[in-house]
Structure 1
Amino acid sequence: MVVQHELLLFAAAFFTLGIIDEFALDCTYLWCRLTGRIRTPRLDEAGLAGIDGLAGRAAVFIPAWEEADVIGPTLVHMLDAWPQDELTVYVGCYRNDVSTMASVVAAVRGDPRVRLVVHGKDGPTSKADCLNRLYAALAEDEQRSGVGARMVVLHDAEDMVDPAALDLLDQALWHAHFVQLPVLALPQRHSPWIGSHYSDEFAEAHGKTLVVRDALGAAIPGAGVGCAIARGSLGQLAHRQGGKPFAEESLTEDYELGLKIAQAGGQGRFLRVRGADGRLIATRAFFPSRLDQSIRQKTRWMHGIALQGWDRLGWDSEPVELWMQLRDRRGPLAAILLVVAYLLVCLVAVGLILEQLGLVEPPPTTPLLSVLFWINFVGLAGRFAARACFTAREYGWRQGLLAIPRTLVSNIVSIMAGRRALAAYVGTLRGAPIVWDKTEHRDHPALVLPGRGTA
């Protein structure tokens, strides 16, 4: 019982710190909303009314490895949604991935705005390596034509873009060097728990956390999709890194990209804008619907952001930046605390049974532990309410209510991913290579929501 009490005190204390952190973020969000520093304008308020064409050439990078099932719908929808002549889509495939190349050729229907770039190596290498090959292709085209791109937009092979996104990114780069649009992880009928728990996480992260970062002037990390980089900033980054702007030794090169641009003095922005019909201008996608795939994906995120980020990016001395870095890198610690918490639930349940049988005496509860319990109880209720509200805002109240029990799914995936991330990190310290540990994609939003472009 003494061990149980000490574990309870340990877990309750650390969970209280987490609750204080989330409460501070919630208060900052509410204050900024009340003071007008956070708002979601409509397209006409964002200055897009009457705009005809882009201010310069736009290059879209799509790295692809074994994406034959989704790359076709992505390209068909993108080319229809973005009819601008200034657009060039660079699709990176590997020489040993014939099926993906065939899907690209079939989908583009001879559209001259698409360039298929075949990597000279067998795949998969790393996603950053494929992106660097696309950057080299862009540089070759610019040198040959004498016309430089104004911006580079990053997308994945399974994305469904918004028709207004390209113009919005183009306009935003007049006042910034890096711009990130929200990502909407669409709920999935055939996977209401695993695949759909991403809906809750992204709704809160891209509806609150990144919005607060933008309002406070903190660096904006890239999500890898729906983000645009000013061509000059990308060129400067490439110059500092031997001609390769994307970090091939990182598992989350997209996350690092926005932060590196900020470290170099560039301005990053996170934009939440709605269309005239109320839809959020965002990138829509289906996320992994199987447990093993979800664990693999979150392992890569946790490994790259929390563990590699510590080594590669260090710590900032600015209070706001340090706060956000601590939030980004708490994943492995949170996984350990969740394991302890679930073990304690089991121990408490066993203890209650033994008490009812008269085999043990109930353990004494100290005043400190009682206070921490109440703080955690109120804080947990607040976390459930916040996640339900942010999810309901984008997907309706049914999904908002489901977000509460889906928190358990999110926690289980995080625990399993945390163990794998720590093991993988130790492996890289011993010299293990960085490879593209990607997830499979079979369904595409454009096929489920034909012609709508909204969730």
Structure 2
Amino acid sequence: MALWGFDLWQWLALLQHELLLFAGVFFLIGAADDIAVDFTWVWLKLTGRARTPEFDREQLRCRELHGAAAIFIPAWSEAEVIGDTIGHTLSSWPQTDLRLYVGCYRNDPATIAAAMQAAQGDERIRIVIHDRDGPTTKADCLNRLYDAMRDDERRMGGQFASVVFQDAEDMVDPAGLGLLDKAIEEGADFAQLPVEPMQQARSRWLGSHYCEEFAEAHAKAMVVRNALGAGLPGAGVGCAVSRAALQKLCRRRADGHPFSSESLTEDYELGLGVSETGGVSRFVRARGTDGLLIATRAYFPAKLGHVVRQKTRWVHGIALQGWDRVGWSRGLVETWMRARDRRGPLAALVLVIGYSLLALTAISWSAIAFGYAEPVPLSPLLKWLLIANFGAFIWRAALRFGFTAREYGAAEGVMAVLRIPVSNVIAIMAGRRALSAYVKTLLGKSIEWDKTPHFRHPARTNPAEGAL
């Protein structure tokens, strides 16, 4: 069959060539972006600016706070884990001058009951019932907790020194609060601890794929951002903001709240907002003398639908909403970092083209093997483009192995490399779903808390980590 002088296989070869050129160029641009961060991190390590200090975990656990701390935990439909989170948090952080605010909804009696049962009369906990039916958004729930904290401040005639943010499924590190308080006392307006996803033996390919992503991001990318003075995106857990910095954020909004109730990624906006108002941000990466990272730990989603839903929210909030809500910066470094944050949809498109190329290549090789087509030689440009991309992939895989193996062991490092295609497919699915959700919001659809369910808490299901 011929069309305009070309048969089917010639058209296929032409399409393959154009897609290869497009994907190769954009893959290389992304690789150059990553390698720039990699080399910056290497330079920081060689010059001693990326040193990870060690602290006595028990001393930090019992550290007297420099001022009262409020811990915010928003909870919608979290009856399965909220009790363990409350119990573990109160036992891990024995300081008397903290108050734990747990935000529940009036139409979620199961979560309210589980939280009340876990409180066990501890005067440090306050269960706050939202006056609206849930789910609204996490940002809206946090604003309700902020109102409750302000009511308490008026009653006690003083203010908290800092506010710490955690999620309903988190297992806090015993040294975490002391380390965050130390950073705030030393002048930080915003401080972020690393997040360490837990390995999941029953979900090695999906639930555990978060391990390598956070291991690399919170050992390299966040370290680089911190050293370059760029704004630090909050992770929503294991982060603290000074009361003064939070007040500045409230003054920027007409309703007097720190967060926009329409935001899907209020944690991301929190860190950047503190930086924009002149605050000092610090990524606080440290280890205990036992060698373990001082970090917030949790089980991440383990089912495909839940994983895609969570990453859809991240892509939608950061990459798409971020253009509207956060905007850009005039500084070169800050613009670079925000561009990195927002490249998810483009990366998903390039990945789709990349995997389409694999399918076309398989078809072409089959046609050549059966004598239906002739091999088409690659131009020198394409050959060098492929060589450069292959080298970048090997470099990326080696780093992914190294960062993952450092925290989880060599076996998980190998799994991290094998899971690269899984991560790519999830990125494609989340990118498509995020774009669809964003278009719907532009057409007037209201934003809701599209959260993922949690069924297990690390303190209960993992004895080794629970002992930590």
Give the equivalent residue in structure 2 for 1:404: 417
User: C-alpha displacement at 1:408, in angstroms?
Assistant: 1.0
**Amino acid in structure 2 at the alignment position of 1:20:** A
* Aligned-partner Cα distance in 2 for 1:145–1:138: 11
1:171 paired to 2:182: yes
Conserved in 2, the CA contact under 8 Å of 1:161 and 1:453?
A: no
Change (3 A) 1:49 1:101: closer
- 1:198 matched to 2:216? The reply is no
| 1:232 Cα deviation from its structure 2 partner | 1.0
- Deviations, residues 37-82 of structure 1 (Å, cap 9, x unaligned): 11100015x9967974111100000000000000011111100000
TM-score, reference length from structure 1: 0.98
Residue in 2 that maps onto 1:445: 458
SS in 2 for 1:269: strand
Matched, 1:183 2:192: no
Which whole-Å CA distance do the structure 2 matches of 1:88 and 1:326 have between them? Answer: 38
1:83 corresponds in structure 2 to 94
Q: Is the 8 A contact 2:55 2:287 kept in 1?
A: yes
Which secondary structure state, in structure 2, belongs to the residue aligned with residue 33 of structure 1? helix
SS of match in other structure, 2:386: helix
Q: Distance in 2 between matches of 1:155 and 1:102?
A: 20
2-side partners of 1:408 and 1:108: how far apart? 44
Please give the per-residue CA displacement for 1:230-260, whole angstroms capped at 9, x wherever unaligned. Answer: 0111112112212110121110011000001
Partner residue, 1:230:
242
CA distance in 2 between partners of 1:29 and 1:48 (Å): 30
> 1:368 matched to which residue of 2?
381
- Percent identity over the alignment is 56
Aligned residue among 322, 327, 336 for 1:314: 327
Q: Alignment partner for residue 68 of structure 2, among 57, 62, 69? A: 57
The secondary structure found in structure 1 opposite 2:262 is: coil
| Aligned 8 A contact 1:191 1:289 in 2 | yes
CA, structure 1 residues 52+22, in 2 after alignment: closer, same or farther (shift >3 Å)? closer
2:53 aligned counterpart, secondary structure:
coil
- Match of residue 357 from structure 2: 344
Partner residue in 2 for 1:13: 25
For residue 270 of structure 2, what is the aligned residue in structure 1?
A: 257
Shift of the alpha carbon at 1:104? Answer: 0.4
Q: Is the 8 A contact 1:178 1:261 kept in 2?
A: yes
1:206-217 matched pairs, under 5 angstroms = 206-217=218-229
User: Contact 2:62 / 2:93 at 8 angstroms: preserved in 1?
Assistant: no
Q: Distance in 2 between matches of 1:363 and 1:158?
A: 54
The CA distance in 1 between the partners of 2:61 and 2:274, in whole Å, is: 31
Aligned-residue offset at 1:448: 2.2
What residue identity is the alignment partner of 1:251?
L
Amino acid at match of 2:195: V
**Secondary structure of 2:348's match?**
helix
* Residue matched to 2:10: none
Q: Go from structure 1 to structure 2 and tell me whether the alpha carbon gap of 1:452 and 1:11 turns closer, same or farther (over 3 Å shift).
A: closer
Q: Confirm or deny that 1:329 pairs with 2:338.
A: no
1:49, 1:202 → 2: CA distance? 24
Deviation string for 1:398-444 (max 9, x for gaps)?
Answer: 00000011111111111001001000111111111110000000011
Deviation at 1:450, TM superposition (A): 3.6
Contact 1:162 1:453 in 2 (8 A): no
Unpaired runs of 5+ residues, structure 2, are 1-12
The amino acid across from 1:140 in the alignment is D
Structure 1 stretches lacking a partner, 5+ long:
none
CA displacement 1:364-409 (0-9 Å, x = unmatched): 2011100010001010011111011111111000000000111111
- Residue in 1 that maps onto 2:396: 383
Q: What's the offset of the Cα at 1:451?
A: 7.0
| C-alpha distance in structure 1 between counterparts of 2:235 and 2:290, whole Å | 25
Shift in Å, 1:362: 1.1
Q: What's the CA shift for 1:332?
A: 0.3
Provide the residue aligned with 1:282 in structure 2.
295
1:240 is aligned to 2:220: no
- Greater mean alpha carbon deviation, residues 328-337 or residues 354-363: 354-363
Contact 1:94 1:121 in 2 (8 A): yes
TM-score, length-scaled by structure 2: 0.95
Q: Does 1:30 align with 2:42?
A: yes
Q: Give the superposition deviation at 1:23.
A: 1.0
- Cα distance in 2 for partners of 1:452, 1:15 equals 38
Aligned equivalent of 2:80: 69
| Alpha-carbon shift at residue 26 of structure 1 (Å) | 0.7
Once structures 1 and 2 are overlaid, which stretch shifts more, 441-450 or 253-262? Answer: 441-450
- Measure how far apart 1:357 and its partner are: 1.0
Instruction: State the one-letter code of the partner of 1:205.
Output: A
Q: Distance in 1 between matches of 2:125 and 2:60?
A: 27
Cα distance, 1:454–1:413 mapped onto 2, change above 3 Å = farther
Counterpart secondary structure, 1:149: coil
Instruction: For 1:143 and 1:342, locate their aligned partners in 2 and report how far apart those are by CA, in whole Å.
Output: 59
Aligned length: 454
* Aligned partner letter, 2:297: R
Question: Using the alignment, how far apart are the partners of 2:169 and 2:176 within structure 1?
Answer: 16
